[in-house]
Amino acid sequence: MNFFDRLHDRIRTVDSVVSVGLDPDPSRIPKHLREYDLPRWAFNRRIIDATHEHAAAYKPNAAFYEDPDGWRALEETIAYAHGKDVPVLLDAKRADIGNTTRQYAQLLDRADAITVNPYMGRDSLQPFLSNEAAGVFVLCRTSNPGGADIQDLELDSGEPVYERVAALADLWNENDNVGLVVGATKPEELEDLREQVPDLPFLVPGIGAQGGDAEAAVEFGLADGVGLVNSSRGIIFAGENDGEEFANASGQAAKRLQRRLNQYRD
Amino acid sequence: MNFFDRLHDRIRTVDSVVSVGLDPDPSRIPKHLREYDLPRWAFNRRIIDATHEHAAAYKPNAAFYEDPDGWRALEETIAYAHGKDVPVLLDAKRADIGNTTRQYAQLLDRADAITVNPYMGRDSLQPFLSNEAAGVFVLCRTSNPGGADIQDLELDSGEPVYERVAALADLWNENDNVGLVVGATKPEELEDLREQVPDLPFLVPGIGAQGGDAEAAVEFGLADGVGLVNSSRGIIFAGENDGEEFANASGQAAKRLQRRLNQYRD
């Protein structure tokens, strides 16, 4: 089954487009969990227990798992999320040449969807794009300050680089499995991109800690109701000062974001 | 000590600019090694033993290590290469926003240098750039067919995107720790880039399996004699049909590439 069809079902089931970013910064994991064999997995499990009823997807960022125990924690986390029927989008931003990117594409043996970086072009993404069951979110316009350095450069055709990336991603969408990553800090960019590629679901990060615009994220991020609006630290560290009860605040934060976003959904 | 100073010393010591790519595709690891606890580490150790006298650097590509045993194999590999006094460049092509890219930058606690992707701009690379002891190779013009999709787009200023990336990387080089990744399949691009950024060492992949031009790689890839020309499969799988003696052919292939490149060094 196509990833976006599965995501659509999940969004309807939980009435939520919230993506919960599972970025377990080791220095912010509650002290009582640090003695566990895999603290990141112990942390994520509690976050999933507290938030899954409000989660359309979980989005672990690969950066927080890049060591031997980290990959074990990530595997456990993905399996546990699947046990709760929540799809998992691995925020890995990968891309590489031929035989190498085929290795990276094996990450989709575990996760349901992945983020990829377009700088190396189509063949660097082909093994992801060819996986008909997986979702592939192409970085388009990121909301960090340096996002402008390359993405906003004006081409001789008059369009900025990120609009060309959106057009290319639309071309690469032969299997109805491509989405875009578009930040919410400039609502007018979201609006223009939605008009340009009406069929591509967006992953909109930057709600919460990054202060993006929730209304624009929902109004323009969804394609036929499908898309994701992510919050990471704003949810998972909401109970940072609550000791062993930390996950309760995460559940509440996920629910609050769900309601806030649902105001703008049709 | 600055990475490029260390690399310079290494290049002089072994009289070689060869980078050996450690990409241990599991399906191509010799059968007799597959029963080991960490086959990739067992493979890499034998390759390092056979090639280190010809290696200016080792370049493991992170894609081949993205699982729990893989990261253990990578850690052992890096430590072993260091035991042979060979610097290690982790070909990871990473970049992400703020707190996330700081996590990725911890990869430099182990490796001496890293490749990064410029699409998300300066702040996505800042934790790498701020590490004065580490080398940071920014993807500029890659030699894969899709490399043209984004990198060759013409800006309104008349230059292609990859030339702007080179100019930005030059600006970002406040700690004399920035290099560029430039493929060798179009020698004239290498030449133009060398003229544009005379001080940045290049990592030139694509010699060997990818069929790049060795003379141009040396003539334009080195900055004051410092730079790297990489071969991965052409070296590590040279003895693929030789059974338990596989590593001998790797040593010979590394030596052959060293000599071929040294013809063109000053």
| Residue B87 and residue B57 in contact, taking contact as beta carbons nearer than 8 Å | yes
B 173-232 residues with CB < 8 A to A: 205, 210
**What local confidence, expressed as pLDDT, does residue A233 receive?**
94
What mean pLDDT do residues B99-128 have? 96
Whether A93 sits inside 8 A of B97 (CB atoms) is no
Whether B61 sits inside 8 A of A96 (CB atoms) is yes
Q: How far is A22 from chain B (nearest CA, A)?
A: 11
B contacts of A147 (beta carbons < 8 Å): 120-121
Whether A142 sits inside 8 A of B97 (CB atoms) is yes
Whether A150 sits inside 8 A of B156 (CB atoms) is no
Residue in A closest to B164 by C-alpha: A150
Residue B167, chain A, CB below 8 Å: the answer is no
B contacts of A106 (beta carbons < 8 Å): 66
For A43-79, write each residue's pLDDT tens digit: 999 999 999 999 999 999 999 999 999 999 999 999 9
Dist. CA B120–CA A93, nearest whole Å: 10
B 47-76 residues with CB < 8 A to A: 61, 63-64, 66-72, 75
A contacts of B147 (beta carbons < 8 Å): 120-121
| Residue A4 and residue A177 in contact, taking contact as beta carbons nearer than 8 Å | yes
In this model, does residue B239 exceed pLDDT 70? yes
**What local confidence, expressed as pLDDT, does residue B185 receive?**
80
How many other β-carbons are positioned within 10 Å of the β-carbon of residue B252?
Answer: 16
Q: How far is A220 from chain B (nearest CA, A)?
A: 22
- Residue B208: pLDDT band (50, 70, 90) is low
Size of interface A-B (CB pairs under 8 A): 176
Q: How far is A219 from chain B (nearest CA, A)?
A: 24
Residue B153, chain A, CB below 8 Å: the answer is yes
How many other β-carbons are positioned within 10 Å of the β-carbon of residue B9?
Answer: 15
For A168-196, write each residue's pLDDT tens digit: 999 999 999 999 999 988 889 999 999 99
Closest CA to A119 of B4, B229, B124, B59: B124
Is A93 designated active site?
A: yes
Q: Which of B22, B59, B97, B157 to mutate to test the interface with A (most CBs of A within 10 A)?
A: B97
Whether B68 sits inside 8 A of A69 (CB atoms) is yes
**What local confidence, expressed as pLDDT, does residue A206 receive?**
73
| Percent of chain A residues topping a pLDDT of 90 | 94
Structurally, how many domains does chain B consist of? 1
**What local confidence, expressed as pLDDT, does residue A1 receive?**
87
What mean pLDDT do residues A235-252 have? 97
What mean pLDDT do residues A96-115 have? 95
What mean pLDDT do residues A81-99 have? 97
Whether B107 sits inside 8 A of A66 (CB atoms) is yes
**What local confidence, expressed as pLDDT, does residue A208 receive?**
67
Q: Letter for the amino acid at A243?
A: G
- Residue B206: pLDDT band (50, 70, 90) is confident
Q: Which of B96, B102, B164, B203 to mutate to test the interface with A (most CBs of A within 10 A)?
A: B96
- Residue B211: pLDDT band (50, 70, 90) is low
**What local confidence, expressed as pLDDT, does residue B184 receive?**
87
In this model, does residue B248 exceed pLDDT 70? yes
In this model, does residue A85 exceed pLDDT 70? yes
Q: Which of B78, B101, B144, B207 to mutate to test the interface with A (most CBs of A within 10 A)?
A: B144
For A193-211, write each residue's pLDDT tens digit: 999 999 999 999 977 655 6
For B12-27, write each residue's pLDDT tens digit: 999 999 999 999 999 9
Residue B100, chain A, CB below 8 Å: the answer is yes
For B174-187, write each residue's pLDDT tens digit: 999 999 999 988 88
Q: What is the mean pLDDT of chain A?
A: 96
Question: Which member of A99, A104, A139 has the closest CB to residue B119?
Answer: A139
Residue in B closest to A64 by C-alpha: B103
Structural domain of A177: 3-262
Dist. CA B9–CA B27, nearest whole Å: 36
A contacts of B156 (beta carbons < 8 Å): 154-156, 158
Q: Is B256 exposed, middle or buried (0-12, 13-18, 19+ CB in 10 A)?
A: middle
Q: What is the mean pLDDT of chain B?
A: 96
Please give the backbone phi and psi of residue A162, each rounded to the nearest 5 degrees, phi first: -65, -30
In this model, does residue B212 exceed pLDDT 80? no
B contacts of A168 (beta carbons < 8 Å): 149-150
Residue in A closest to B91 by C-alpha: A96
| Percent of chain A residues topping a pLDDT of 70 | 98
* CATH classification at residue A106: 3.20.20.70
Reported for B185-191, long-range contacts at CB under 8 A and 24+ positions apart, including other chains, are: B185/B143, B185/B210, B185/B211, B185/B212, B185/B213, B186/B141, B186/B143, B187/B213, B187/B215, B187/B216, B187/B220, B189/B141, B189/B162, B190/B216, B190/B217, B190/B219, B190/B220, B190/B221, B191/B216, B191/B219, B191/B220
Dist. CA B246–CA A36, nearest whole Å: 42
What mean pLDDT do residues B33-59 have? 97
Number of H helices, E strands in chain A: 11, 8
B contacts of A210 (beta carbons < 8 Å): 97
B contacts of A230 (beta carbons < 8 Å): none
**What local confidence, expressed as pLDDT, does residue A218 receive?**
96
What mean pLDDT do residues B216-235 have? 96
Chain Cα centroid distance, residue B148: 20
B contacts of A117 (beta carbons < 8 Å): 93, 95, 117, 119-120
Q: How far is B138 from chain A (nearest CA, A)?
A: 11
